[in-house]
Amino acid sequence: MSDNSGVTGYIQHHLTHWRIGDGFWALDLDSLAVGYLLGALFCLIFWAAARRATAGTPGPLQNAVESLMEFIDGICKDTFHEKSNLVAPLALTIFVWVFLMNLMDLVPIDFAPDFMGALGWDYFKILPVVNLNVTFGLSLSVLALIIVFSLYYKGPGGYLKELLFHPFGPWLLPFNLLLNIVETLAKPISLSLRLFGNLYAAELIFILIATLTLGFGSSWGEMLTSLSGITLLIGQTILAAVWAIFHILVVPLQAFIFMMLTVVYLNMAAEHH
C-alpha cells in the first residue's frame, strides 16, 4: 500500500451504489436488479422442484426443497400458535430470499465492479443487504403484517384496547400508548439494522483484505518478483479464505434470524393478552 488516497478511493468506490436520482426519489439500481433477479431465481428453483416432484424416488432438488420446507414448517408450528396459511410460506420466502442476497457477499469483491465497469457503469454493489433501504424495506413489510395480524386476530377493538391498556392498566393510558408505539416501531428498525450491520461489516472486512496488495495495482509481475509482494499475496489469500469460511456460517444464520424474528413478532401480534 503505497498510496493512502488510492486505498481510500478504492474503499469508497466499493461502497458506492449505482444510483439515479436524488433524495427520496433516488433509486439504487444495483440493489433492485440483484434483489429482483435473486427473487426470480428463488421462484424458478422451487417451480422446477414442484414440476419434477414425484411420489417415487425423489431427486436431489426435490429432496433439498422438501427438507427445507419441512424444517421451516416445523419451526412455524412450534413458534406461531394460531392457525394461519400465510406464516409458513412467508417464512420460507424470507429465509430463501435473504439467504440468496446474503450469499452474494461470497462473490469476489472486485468481480462485480470490474465486470460492470467494463460495460460502462462506474459503480455496482452486488450485495443488496448492505443497502439500508433494502433491509428497511423488508422490515417495513413485516411491520405492516404485524399490524394486519393484530387487527385480524384481536379485532380493531381488541387491538386498540391492547395499545391503550397494556401492560399497566387504564391508569397509565398515555404511557401504555407511548410504550406500545415505541415497541412496535423498534421491531422493524432492529430487524433492518441487524441484517444490514452484520453484512456491511463482513463486506468491509473483505474490502480491507483486498487492499493488502492494492499498492501493486495490476502489476502481477512486480508483485510476484518481490518478497513483500509475495508475502502480502499469501497473507491476503489466507485471510480471505479464513474469513470466507467463517462467513459461510454467517450467511444462513442472518437469514434464519430475520425469518425467526418475523415469525415471533407475528405470533406476538396474534396473541391475546
Q: Where are the domains of the chain?
A: 4-270
Q: pLDDT tens-digit profile of 255-272?
A: 999 999 999 999 999 987
Backbone φ and ψ for 235, nearest 5 degrees, come out as: -60, -40
Neighbouring-strand partners of residue 20: 27
Report d(CA 10, CA 120) in Å as an integer: 18
Q: pLDDT tens-digit profile of 16-73?
A: 888 888 877 889 999 999 999 999 999 999 999 988 888 777 888 889 999 999 999 9
* Residue 59 pLDDT: 84
Three cell numbers at 7?
Answer: 486505498
Q: pLDDT tens-digit profile of 125-178?
A: 999 999 999 999 999 999 999 999 999 999 999 889 988 887 887 888 888 899
Q: pLDDT tens-digit profile of 81-106?
A: 888 899 999 999 999 999 999 999 88
* Residue 1 pLDDT: 38
Contacts 24+ apart (CB under 8 A), 75-84: 75/260, 75/263, 76/263, 79/260, 79/263, 79/264, 79/267, 80/263, 80/266, 80/267, 80/270, 81/267, 81/270, 81/271, 82/153, 82/267, 82/270, 82/271, 84/266, 84/270
Half-sphere exposure of 134 (CA within 13 A, CB side): 27
Q: pLDDT band at 113, cuts 50/70/90?
A: confident
Report d(CA 219, CA 192) in Å as an integer: 41
* Residue 9 pLDDT: 84
Q: What is the model's pTM?
A: 0.88
Catalytic center residues: 190, 194, 198
Residue 138: Cβ within 10 Å count: 22
* Residue 4 pLDDT: 44
* Residue 103 pLDDT: 93
Q: pLDDT band at 121, cuts 50/70/90?
A: confident
